């Protein structure tokens, strides 16, 4: 059934879709937001590890809605839930930890400043940091970000400090500060998408220990479900439709986007016409939606005349180590405060290539997540190294009496021809749609970089006097941080979107999730996606007001 036409139909309500919906609603335009997942309310967010982390509260089950995953084009695919973020109103911003860093000016001019390593597809952005900076300010204010911008070598240009003061940090933050200073580095406060005091009708953080991987029952986490979506609906111009799965974007005889076909909460086929169609389903899922939107005008998928939809897929390079302390060893370990909130960015860019890379990333320090089932599974091990009985009980008791400090690497993930997403018509999800098929082939510089940063992080950990330091890995990827599949640029031959995130080939189609990113940066991408969406909103509103 075809609905009445609206000005704009947005698919997805996360970091990309919500800012655009809010600004369009404020400007008086009629907007429909289609969200595949449920609309959870505060009472739905409970501290249940099985519900949140081991079932399908956020992520779909791989037998219902698989992603296909392989490491290299010569390998077979396996069914996986890799590269899902979250299926609910607010998307991945609902269960995020809320590490809100900005990209740096160098990220926008990486090819010019550092060159493109052989075998990579590094390009400069079609916009500058200066063009995005006001929208970083806006995103931080609208979402609610707490922090303290202290001087350090890679501090990005800013108009002022964060809208909210920093969250109270655990005393170990001071120990990290001293350790980093002793090594000649800079330990800086980590900005968080968590409000430290009441803000715009929302309650402040209560410092529970279950933040990342869980929704916030107090509205303190600055997910779009708690911040932007309520404000958008309050304009009276934005309608949110949860449990609506977009299956196709249709086009008219001129090749313009005409409508979104979707399955509603009852599984009924519906059609939402709109003047403007916006995809914001995550980089992987937006690529899938476009590739599955086949027509006589676009036989290879919508806006895919140049074959670049799904190419240059980006994640975040990942490495990790941890320090284990006997909790009775130091008085400061007794504090119950859950946040460490310390980062090191001294290796964001290297002065030369002596270590095998130029573009680095960020070290973020945090306490190990307290999910007990996850911890027990890891302690038990598997295969020939698995343990049980008294040996497992002893290990569990030691874990109970320990505090575990971790760091994670958010590192540059170089775009290559070998990392991309397509669709596989032979494997379909519970909606009957071909699923996303993801191929990952990493650039070797990524691994040189993550190993180097892990080694530097371990130097900090060793200075803290732990009982032991354990290396977790140096060659991973964080797949909930994703981009690149519809990169923006000035040349229609080498990019899918223009500088305003409008498709070169379909003038009324926009993509505003992480798909636009030409490079991954050395930080989580969530804040940048939101800032860019606010920027695109200004351009789109101006165009709509002119009748274009």
Structural domain span for residue 289: 6-545
pLDDT, tens digit, 9 for 90 and up, residues 332-348: 899 999 999 999 999 99
- Does residue 1 sit within a domain? no
pLDDT of residue 370: 85
Domain at 101, CATH number:
3.50.50.60
Write the burial class of residue 334 (CB in 10 Å: 0-12 exposed, 13-18 middle, 19+ buried).
exposed
Residue 352 maps to a domain: yes
pLDDT for 397: 86
Q: What is the pLDDT of residue 450?
A: 98
User: How far, in Å, are 103, 157, 411, 427 from residue 185 at the CA level?
Assistant: 20, 20, 18, 50
Per-residue model confidence as pLDDT tens digits over 225-284: 999 999 999 999 999 999 999 999 999 999 999 999 999 999 999 999 999 999 999 999
- Phi, psi (deg, nearest 5) at residue 459: -60, -40
Q: What does pTM read for this prediction? A: 0.97
Rounded Cα–Cα distance for residues 493 and 485 (Å): 15
- Tell me the average pLDDT across 442-463: 98
E strands, 6-117, are: 6-11, 31-34, 67-70, 78-80
Q: Is the pLDDT of residue 548 over 80?
A: no
* pLDDT per position as a tens digit, 370-418: 888 888 888 889 888 888 889 888 878 888 889 999 999 999 999 999 9
The predicted structure's pLDDT at residue 277:
98
**pLDDT score, position 325:** 96
pLDDT at 399: 83
Average pLDDT over residues 123-151: 98
Identify the three-state secondary structure at position 117: coil
CA pair distance 508, 227, nearest whole angstrom: 27
Does residue 536 belong to any structural domain of this protein?
yes
What's the rounded mean pLDDT across residues 432-436? 98
For range 406-435, the mean pLDDT? 98
Q: Determine, yes or no, domain membership for 47.
A: yes
Does the residue 491 lie in any domain? yes
Residue 29 lies in a domain: yes
- Residue 127: pLDDT band (50, 70, 90) is very high
The chain-wide mean pLDDT, for the chain, equals: 96
Where b means 16+ CB within 10 Å and e means fewer, 420-445 reads bbbbeeebebeeebbbbbbbbbbbeb
d(CA 279, CA 79): 25
320: part of which helix (H) or strand (E)? Answer: strand 314-326
Two tokens at 288?
């899938």
Cα–Cα distance measured from residue 292 to residue 299, given in angstroms and rounded to the nearest whole number: 10
Kindly tell me the number of DSSP H helices and DSSP E strands found in the chain: 12, 17
In a domain, residue 518? The reply is yes
Tokens of 289: 């939606």
How would residue 54 be classed by pLDDT, with cut points 50, 70 and 90?
A: confident
Quote the number of domains for the chain: 1
pLDDT tens digits along 473-532? 999 999 999 999 999 999 999 999 999 999 999 999 999 999 999 999 999 999 999 999
DSSP 515: G
| Sequential DSSP letters for 155-199 | PPP-SS--SBPPPPPPTHHHHHHHHHHHTT--EEEPPBSB-SS-B
Rounded CA separation 521/537 (Å): 23
Q: What's the rounded mean pLDDT across residues 421-431?
A: 97
pLDDT bucket at 86, cuts 50 / 70 / 90: very high
Distances (CA, A) of 329 to 175, 402, 483: 14, 9, 43
Query: Is residue 53 predicted with pLDDT exceeding 90?
Result: no
Asked which of 136-140, 309-313, 373-377, 499-503 is least confident by mean pLDDT, the reply is 373-377
pLDDT value at residue 254: 96
């Amino acid at each position: 059934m075809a609905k009445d036409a609206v000005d704009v139909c947005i698919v997805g309500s996360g970091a990309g879709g919500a800012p655009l919906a809010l600004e369009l609603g404020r400007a008086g335009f009629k907007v429909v937001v289609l969200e595949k997942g449920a609309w959870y309310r505060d009472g739905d967010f409970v501290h249940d590890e099985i519900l949140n982390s081991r079932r399908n509260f956020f992520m779909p089950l791989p037998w219902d809605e698989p992603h296909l995953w392989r490491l290299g084009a010569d390998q077979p695919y396996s069914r996986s839930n890799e590269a899902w973020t979250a299926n609910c109103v607010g998307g991945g911003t609902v269960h995020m930890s809320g590490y809100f860093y900005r990209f740096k000016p160098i990220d926008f001019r990486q090819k010019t400043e550092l060159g493109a390593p052989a075998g990579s597809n590094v390009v400069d952005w079609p916009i500058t940091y200066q063009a995005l900076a006001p929208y970083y300010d806006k995103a931080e204010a609208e979402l609610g970000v707490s922090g303290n911008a202290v001087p350090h070598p890679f501090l990005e240009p800013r108009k002022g400090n964060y809208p909210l003061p920093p969250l109270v940090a655990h005393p170990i933050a001071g120990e990290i500060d001293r350790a980093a200073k002793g090594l000649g580095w800079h330990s800086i406060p980590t900005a968080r998408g968590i409000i430290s005091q009441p803000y715009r009708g929302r309650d402040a953080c209560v410092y529970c220990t279950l933040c990342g991987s869980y929704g916030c029952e107090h509205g303190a986490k600055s997910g779009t479900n708690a911040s932007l979506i309520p404000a958008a609906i309050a304009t009276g111009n934005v309608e949110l439709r949860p449990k609506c799965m977009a299956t196709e974007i249709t086009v008219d005889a001129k090749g313009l986007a005409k409508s979104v076909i979707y399955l509603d909460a009852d599984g009924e086929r519906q059609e939402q016409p709109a003047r403007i169609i916006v995809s914001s389903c995550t980089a992987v899922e937006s690529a899938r939606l476009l590739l599955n939107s086949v027509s006589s005008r676009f036989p290879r998928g919508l806006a895919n005349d140049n074959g670049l939809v799904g190419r240059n897929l980006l994640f975040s390079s990942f490495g990790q180590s941890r320090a284990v302390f006997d909790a009775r060893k130091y008085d400061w370990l007794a504090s119950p405060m859950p946040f460490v909130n310390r980062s090191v960015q001294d290796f964001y860019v290297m002065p030369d290539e002596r270590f095998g890379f130029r573009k680095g990333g960020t070290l973020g320090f945090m306490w190990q997540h307290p999910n007990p089932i996850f911890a027990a599974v890891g302690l038990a091990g598997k295969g020939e190294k698995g343990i049980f009985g008294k040996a497992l009980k002893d290990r569990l008791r030691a874990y109970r009496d320990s505090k575990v400090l971790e760091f994670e690497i958010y590192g540059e993930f170089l775009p290559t021809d070998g990392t991309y997403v397509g669709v596989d018509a032979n494997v379909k999800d519970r909606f009957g749609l071909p699923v996303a098929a993801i191929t990952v082939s990493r650039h070797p510089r990524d691994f040189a970089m993550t190993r180097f940063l892990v080694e530097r992080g371990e130097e900090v950990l060793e200075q803290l006097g732990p009982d032991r330091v354990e290396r977790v890995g140096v060659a991973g990827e964080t797949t909930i941080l994703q981009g690149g599949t519809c990169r923006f640029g000035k040349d229609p031959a080498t990019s899918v979107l223009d500088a305003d995130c409008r498709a070169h080939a379909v003038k009324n189609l926009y993509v505003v999730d992480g798909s636009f990113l030409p490079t991954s940066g050395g930080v989580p991408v969530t804040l940048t996606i939101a800032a860019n969406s606010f920027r695109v909103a200004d351009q789109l509103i101006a165009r709509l007001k002119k009748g274009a």
